Amino acid sequence: MRLRNKPWAEDFITAHPHIVIPNPQDYRGNWGEVFQNNNPLHIEVGTGRGQFVTEMARANPGINYLGIELYDSVIVSALENAIEAGLPNLKLLKVNGEHSAKFFQKNDVSRVYLNFSDPWPKIRHARRRLSHENFLKLYESFLIDNGEVHFKTDNRELFEFSLISMSEYGMLLKYLSLDLHVNQPKDNIMTEYEEKFSAKGHPIYRLESQFVTK
């Protein structure tokens, strides 16, 4: 994603602490305080402009959603979407997803979404892929027992890497599609990238996997 500088972004984010949660480490183990309920929590790592997480929150009012995005110039678009939607079960974090263990502990999260993550195509960068073993260990550390990871991409190599990575980790593969939109589930909510790539005829790869309690 090419980032445009938005000098107003930081002030805009700071002005909305009820949506972009400041000091998220303060709520580690107690995210119910933020949402004022104990509903399941789902997070999207790399939420981009926020279309997916916003529409998921709209469609599932009994689930709490957190969109995680590092860059000011990107998360402001997600914030604008969240403000317009006005959904009490939608919040954002402006943090690096690699540091999620600082903000979540075991049983805080029920599901992780990875949508159109950076494929990091060079072999030497494999450890940076969000489906690498190191990240799977991270997710497992704060997910509930039998928690799930849902993954979408248009990149065949990243999909194959992720499929192998999750299988070798011992996860249970619950759903797999090599072309999601051929028989698209009625409840499928698309990201901005998904709309763009599918409109060009690119197949969308999806898998749902579950950690198995050892």
Q: Confidence class of residue 107 from pLDDT cuts 50, 70 and 90?
A: very high
CA 206 – CA 163 distance, rounded (Å): 10
| Joined tokens for residue 161 | 């890497």
Per the confidence metrics, is the pTM higher than 0.85?
yes
pLDDT tens, residue by residue, 74-105: 999 999 999 999 999 999 999 999 999 999 99
pLDDT tens, residue by residue, 128-150: 999 999 999 999 999 999 999 99
How much is the pLDDT for 3? 53
How much is the pLDDT for 4? 64
Residues counted in the chain: 214
pLDDT tens, residue by residue, 68-81: 999 999 999 999 99
Q: Confidence class of residue 183 from pLDDT cuts 50, 70 and 90?
A: confident
CB-based contacts of 125, cutoff 8 Å, min separation 6:
none
Q: Is 118 a catalytic residue?
A: yes
Largest CA distance in the chain: 48
What region, left, alpha or beta, does residue 194 occupy, with left being phi > 0 and alpha being psi -120 to 50 degrees? alpha
| Joined tokens for residue 142 | 């704060």
Whether pLDDT at 121 is above 90: yes
Provide the mean pLDDT of the chain. Answer: 94
Q: What is the DSSP letter of 124?
A: G
* CA distance to 30, 148, 149, 156, per residue, from 174 (Å): 29, 9, 10, 19
CA 19 – CA 93 distance, rounded (Å): 8
Contact 31, 40 (CB under 8 A): no
Q: Confidence class of residue 213 from pLDDT cuts 50, 70 and 90?
A: confident
Q: Which member of 11, 26, 108, 118 is catalytic?
A: 118
| Phi and psi, residue 182, nearest 5° | -65, -50
